[in-house]
């Protein structure tokens, strides 16, 4: 009762908030609620406080809300981000096989349970949960009938090795096509409680930040780098080093510039492009599509796109067969991979003996400032800097944000990773791409 009164008082905007740096609206609201709860605990009634003062400091509060037309455009774009960077969620096809998922599901469920797109069935996931027999029985009753439910809500539990007991509420939503046929299901797993909740949310925050960084970088990537001769030179140099090799991997393919170059430079070449970030992979796919349309030749028949981390490639032996590739390209990727040694071991396993690895990567002595200064000078010389300024600034900000998570291995470390993974280094170029990377060419022993 006392709590209800306190909330009412808070709403009447007279309740107090301890000042915290302005963050998001939800953070502020939570802080306000916490403060009221704390005040009740201490004195039995809330202290007089001023929400209005704290609210007045919120960024944007003195501006107008978005206008009607712009708001549609903005919300359409934000909805994509809402699925991609939110609570764990996945999509099943109409036969309940996994189509795709978002990074939160990847982190908490797909990675530890080894769930695979287009291969794992929803039933395999249920088998990992607490009380699978009852859940499977219910699933049959609910989904094996017509009409299918529009929405299905269910409480589920998982005993996670890392996070302990995890309670969540599944919300499955029907997706239909233009002919009103059910084509897929989008399933949200709302976490209700978790034994090691702090660890879980810290892991999720880190993963979402990293994913969002790459997603935002994808927006500016081609605009900037396709206008940067140093990038084009690097691309040319790396692709030339795999000349004559037919079955190639482009690992950490990003927006697909190397993939396209590999496909275009040899019409018999087959490429498997591996890229885990959705925004990057989306650009890659649309570029292959554009190329196909503009040349009326079939490129999709020669490219396979796998939305996965290099570190998980050992689980995909049916798609990327071990010992079957002639070459692997890793352009500016090794520095960003969680475990470079393991990554190169995965790559070695995919190559034939004598297969070639070509990589470029930054290192401990890389000057990001110098790289961006060279890029800026180049854009200015082409008269493009002003129009690409926000992209440039954002790309710089992405680098800053990633500083903590990227590797700054020494050149000796890089050499050792390659050799320990079972390669013989055949060429070492100490400085390329405005001095930002080394290029390594190696042969699988």
Ligand X SMILES: C[S@@+](CC[C@H](N)C(=O)[O-])C[C@H]1O[C@@H](n2cnc3c(N)ncnc32)[C@H](O)[C@@H]1O
276 binds ligand X (CB under 6 A): yes
How open is the CA angle 363-367-368, to the nearest 5 degrees? Answer: 100
Q: Distance between CA atoms of 199 and 107, rounded to whole angstroms?
A: 12
φ/ψ of residue 439, rounded to 5: -115, 130
Q: Among residues 194 and 310, whose Cβ is nearest to ligand X?
A: 310
Spatial separation of the C-alpha atoms in residues 310 and 332, rounded to whole Å: 14
> What residues pair up with 175 in beta bridges, in sequence order?
184
Of the pair 16, 309, the CB lying nearest ligand X is at 309
Nearer of residues 34 and 393 to ligand X, judged by Cβ: 393
Q: Considering the complex, what minimum distance in angstroms separates the CB of residue 387 from ligand X?
A: 21
Close Cβ partners of 165 (under 8 Å, ≥ 6 residues apart): 157, 158, 159, 193, 194, 195
Under the criterion CB under 6 A, does residue 280 sit at the interface with ligand X? yes
* Residue 89 burial (C-beta neighbours within 10 Å; 0-12, 13-18, 19+): buried
Which positions ≥6 away from 382 have C-beta within 8 Å?
227
Binding mask 169-208 for ligand X (x = CB under 6 A): ----------------------------------------
The least distance separating ligand X from the CB of residue 128, rounded to whole angstroms, comes to: 24
Q: Counting contacts by CB under 6 A, is residue 336 touching ligand X?
A: yes
Candidate residues 212, 253, 388, 434; the one interacting with ligand X per rule CB under 6 A: 253
Query: Considering only residues 98, 185, 214, 372, which one is a binding residue for ligand X as defined by CB under 6 A?
Result: 214
DSSP category for residue 86? S
- Report if residue 139 touches ligand X, rule: CB under 6 A: no
Q: How far is CA 359 from the centre of its chain?
A: 22
* Contact string 289-328 vs ligand X (x = CB under 6 A): --------------------xxx-----------------
Asked if 275 interacts with ligand X (CB under 6 A), we say yes
332 contacts ligand X (rule: CB under 6 A): yes
**Nearest approach, Cβ of 85 to ligand X (angstroms)?**
14
Beta partners for residue 438, in sequence order: 361
| Residue 340 interacting with ligand X (CB under 6 A) | no
Answer yes or no whether residue 361 interacts with ligand X by CB under 6 A: no
User: With binding defined as CB under 6 A, does residue 358 bind ligand X?
Assistant: no
Residue among 89 and 284 whose Cβ is closer to ligand X: 284
Q: Which is nearer to ligand X, 88 or 276 (CB)?
A: 276
- Based on the shown chain and the rule CB under 6 A, indicate whether residue 362 belongs to the binding site for ligand X: no
Interface region with ligand X, contact rule CB under 6 A, candidates 66-74, 292-300, 331-339, 370-378: 331-339
Q: Which burial class, exposed, middle or buried, applies to 224 when counting CB atoms under 10 A from its CB (0-12, 13-18, 19+)?
A: buried
Nearer to ligand X, 101 or 214 (CB): 214
CB of 218 to ligand X, least distance (A): 7
| Distance of closest approach, residue 332 Cβ to ligand X, in angstroms | 4
Residue 252 in contact with ligand X, rule: CB under 6 A: yes
Non-local CB neighbours of 367 within 8 Å, separated by 6+ positions = 435, 436
Query: Tokens 């991609």 label which residue?
Result: 84
Cα–Cα distance, 139 to 134 (Å, whole number): 9
Question: At its nearest, how many Å lie between ligand X and the CB of residue 255?
Answer: 6
Place of tokens 């040899």: 266
Tell me if 337 contacts ligand X by CB under 6 A.
yes
Which lies closer to ligand X via its Cβ, residue 139 or residue 212?
212
With binding defined as CB under 6 A, does residue 333 bind ligand X? yes
Site membership for ligand X, residue 437 (CB under 6 A): no
331 binds ligand X (CB under 6 A): yes
Size of the site for ligand X (CB under 6 A): 20
Residue 85 is given by DSSP the state T
274 near ligand X, rule: CB under 6 A? yes
Helices and strands (H and E) in the chain: how many:
16, 12
Residue 124, C-beta contacts closer than 8 angstroms, at least 6 positions apart: 115
CB of 315 to ligand X, least distance (A): 13
Q: Which is nearer to ligand X, 46 or 340 (CB)?
A: 340
SS (H, E, C) 172-218: EEEEECCCCCEEEEEEEEEEEEECCHHHHHHHHHHHHHHHHHHHHHH
239 half-sphere exposure, CB direction, 13 A CA radius: 20
Q: Does 409 bind ligand X (CB under 6 A)?
A: no
User: What token pair was written down for 50?
Assistant: 């001023």
264-270-274-275 Cα dihedral, nearest 10 degrees: 30
Q: Which residue is nearest to ligand X (CB)?
A: 254
Residue 251 CB, shortest distance to ligand X, in Å, is 6
Q: How far apart are CA 372 and CA 374, in angstroms?
A: 5
Binding site for ligand X (CB under 6 A): 214, 251-254, 257-258, 274-277, 280, 309-311, 331-333, 336-337
């Amino acid at each position: 009762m006392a709590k209800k009164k306190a909330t009412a008082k808070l709403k009447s905007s007279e309740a107090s908030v301890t000042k915290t740096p302005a963050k998001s609206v939800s953070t502020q609201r939570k802080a306000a609620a916490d403060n009221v709860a704390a005040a009740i605990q201490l004195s039995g009634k809330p202290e007089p406080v001023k929400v209005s003062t704290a609210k007045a400091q919120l960024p944007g509060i003195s501006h107008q809300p978005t206008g009607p037309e712009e708001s549609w455009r903005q919300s359409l774009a934000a909805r994509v981000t809402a699925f991609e960077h939110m609570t764990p969620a996945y999509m099943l096809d109409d036969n309940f096989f996994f189509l795709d998922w978002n990074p939160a599901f990847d982190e908490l469920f797909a990675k530890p349970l080894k769930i695979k797109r287009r291969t794992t069935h929803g039933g395999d996931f249920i088998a990992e949960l607490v009380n699978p027999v009852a859940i499977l029985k219910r699933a049959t009753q609910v989904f094996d009938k017509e009409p299918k439910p529009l929405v299905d809500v269910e409480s589920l539990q998982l005993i996670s090795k890392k996070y302990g007991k995890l309670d969540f509420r599944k919300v499955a939503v029907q997706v239909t096509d233009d002919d009103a046929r059910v084509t897929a299901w989008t399933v949200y797993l709302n976490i209700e409680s978790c034994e090691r909740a702090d660890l879980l949310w810290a892991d999720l925050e880190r993963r979402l930040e990293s994913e969002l960084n790459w997603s935002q970088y994808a927006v500016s990537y081609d605009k900037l780098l396709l206008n940067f001769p140093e990038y084009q030179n690097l691309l040319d140099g790396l692709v030339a080093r795999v000349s004559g090799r037919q079955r190639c991997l482009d690992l950490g393919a990003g927006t697909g510039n190397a993939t396209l170059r590999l496909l275009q430079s040899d019409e018999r070449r087959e490429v498997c492009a591996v890229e885990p970030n959705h925004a990057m992979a989306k650009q890659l796919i649309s570029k292959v599509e554009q190329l196909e349309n503009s040349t009326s030749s079939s490129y999709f028949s020669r490219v396979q796109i796998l939305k996965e981390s290099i570190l998980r490639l050992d689980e995909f032996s049916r798609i990327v067969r071990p010992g079957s590739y002639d070459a692997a390209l890793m352009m500016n990727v090794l520095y960003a991979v969680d475990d470079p040694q393991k990554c190169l071991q995965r790559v070695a396993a995919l190559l034939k003996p004598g297969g070639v690895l070509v990589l470029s990567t930054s290192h401990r002595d890389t000057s990001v400032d110098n790289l961006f200064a060279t890029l800026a000078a180049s854009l200015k010389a082409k008269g493009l800097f002003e129009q690409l300024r926000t992209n440039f600034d954002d790309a710089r900000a992405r680098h800053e944000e990633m500083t903590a998570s990227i590797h700054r291995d020494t050149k000796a470390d890089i050499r050792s990773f390659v050799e320990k993974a079972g390669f013989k280094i055949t060429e070492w170029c100490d400085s390329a791409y405005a001095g930002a990377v080394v290029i390594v060419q190696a042969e699988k022993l």
